[in-house]
Amino acid sequence: MPAELTAALYLRQSHGKQRSIDGQETDNRAACADHTWPVAEVYQDKVSASWFSTAERPDWDRLLADLTSPTRRWNVLVIWESSRGDREPESWLRFLRLCRGHAILIYVYTHERLYDVRVRRDWRTLADEGIDNANASWETSDRVRRDLRQAAQAGRPHATTTYGYERVYDSHTRELLEQREHLQHAANVRDILSRIDAGEPISVIEAALTAHGVPAPRGGDWTRTSIRQVATNLAYIGKRSHHGELHDAIWPPIVDEELFWRVQRRLGDPGRKTSRPGRNRWLLSYLAACGTCGGAMHVQRHGAIYRCLTRQCTSIPREMADTYVSEVVIAWASQRAAGVFAAAADSEAVQARAEEARLRAQLDDAAKASAHGRISLRAFEVMEAELAPLVKAAAKRAREAGTPPAVRSLVGERDVRAAWGGMHVAAQREAVRAIMAVRIRRALHPGRQSAADIRARVAIDWAGETGG
């Protein structure tokens, strides 16, 4: 044993508590003072050392590197207990091998003992403790997984309170009594999902929430990400998801399932990947086509006209064209009562869309569980083989039946004109795209811009069976 010992401390946080590091440091420094060991280095990590943890521990890695460094200034490592070091047996045994090869002593505070792993019995003691720590970590992981599974199956809440709800606890036992709606936050959730369902872009919702001073779930301003997180949270239909399985929750839903799954379908629309609905300003820009060459019509002269982008074949006053198409849509929707247009086939389509979105969410959860090692790759492949055909069949049923989602908010309204005027231009464009194709013909009499001329020049091709 060296005549003079200089210590290094390794501290690791336990259960997410900073005071555990502070307490370890106090105890370890007291032990060093008792043995008259000066402290030359302090290493600390604020993450778990669990065998199942994927978090990096930079100071543990630095400690292992320093064990072989010629400039190392210490020769005894002080740890509060052996589990503060490493719960992964392979890494722990490597640590012991490095300590043995470089004459590093190990002092364990809870043992009140200094170990020299060059001595067989000392090595055996710490090696056995490493195996025991790994086994304890495994047992803890199994228990946590079992508790999480049972809680999910019972529909009990997990972790922090979901935005939109509040929890009520017994004042004496602190046992959870219920999770109920938070009056204002639940109203914000309904508002967000209703706006998305109506075709309002997320960027517009974000701006509106910020302008009205509505705090985001974690404080500060709302972002596109925080809005999407709210809009896609299964908790708001009273469901819990666990490893791809949905369970009925013990708390009440904030929105109905049909609205929720319509929003999921809208957010998952591949068309959203290639367009930015929040940037839409004009009703027919890049939506109407040139009646001569088929090219897109786009806005020029600061929004004054639509002009053929490809060959400049024709142009038309933007405001007059938008007004005419709007009147056609309003007349079309006014002719269809909700009871006629939203017929049985439409109800079937809603159910099919909800089923498709639910199955996709289940498959996505299973994929995440597999990626994080919570279920095996083989188990995920089996689930995928079972769910993928069901997703495809539900999507097919949804395509073949019912009302296009974009026009649902118009049909059956008592005041269709007011409903149309209250829609964001992105939603109006979606409705136009769903029910018609617009072509702009050349002017027969250049210079004329009467309403009759506009009607003659704007050709409407109805989509499928929707016209008439």
| Token pair belonging to 64 | 């292992």
**DSSP structure class, residue 213:** T
Alpha helices in 268-335 (DSSP H): 271-274, 318-334
Q: Which residues pair with 296 in a beta bridge?
A: 289
Neighbours of 130 (CB within 10 A): 23
Instruction: Name the E strands within 38-141.
Output: 39-45, 76-79, 105-108, 113-115
Cα distance between the two ends of the chain: 98
pLDDT of residue 338: 44
- From the list 347, 350, 334, 317, the residue with the least C-alpha distance to 446 is 317
Angle 14-16-22 from CA coordinates, rounded to 5°: 60
Burial level of 78, CB count in 10 A (0-12/13-18/19+)? Answer: buried
CA distance 157 to 400: 38
How far are the Cα atoms of 24, 116, 253 from residue 83, in angstroms, in the given order?
A: 12, 18, 43
Helix (H) or strand (E) holding 246: strand 245-248
- Residue 342: the pLDDT is 44
- Residue that has been written with the tokens 């498959």 in this structure: 363
The angle subtended at Cα 22 by Cα 17 and Cα 28, nearest 5°, is 130
The tokens of 239 are what? 């469901």
- The helix/strand/coil state of 178 is strand
**What's the rounded Cα separation, in Å, for the pair 164 and 182?**
5
Which residue type is seen at 47?
A: V
Which amino acid appears at position 232 of this protein? T
- Which residues contact residue 460 at a Cβ distance below 8 angstroms, ignoring those fewer than 6 apart? 325, 328, 436, 437, 438, 467
Length of the chain: 468
58: buried, middle or exposed (CB in 10 Å: 19+, 13-18, 0-12)?
exposed
Dihedral in degrees, nearest 10, Cα atoms 385, 388, 394, 395: -160
Three-class secondary structure of residue 177 per DSSP: strand
Note the pLDDT of residue 279. Answer: 61
Q: Which pLDDT score is estimated for 275?
A: 53
Enumerate residues 6+ apart whose C-beta is below 8 A from 268.
357, 360
Closest CA to 334 of 420, 427, 459: 420
Confirm if 263 and 271 have CB atoms less than 8 A apart: no
* Consecutive H or E run containing 242: strand 239-242
pLDDT means per 10 residues in the chain (468 residues)?
83 64 91 95 77 70 92 94 78 91 94 94 92 79 74 77 93 90 95 88 90 91 92 91 78 90 76 55 90 90 88 91 93 66 50 76 81 80 86 72 61 80 84 88 76 87 60
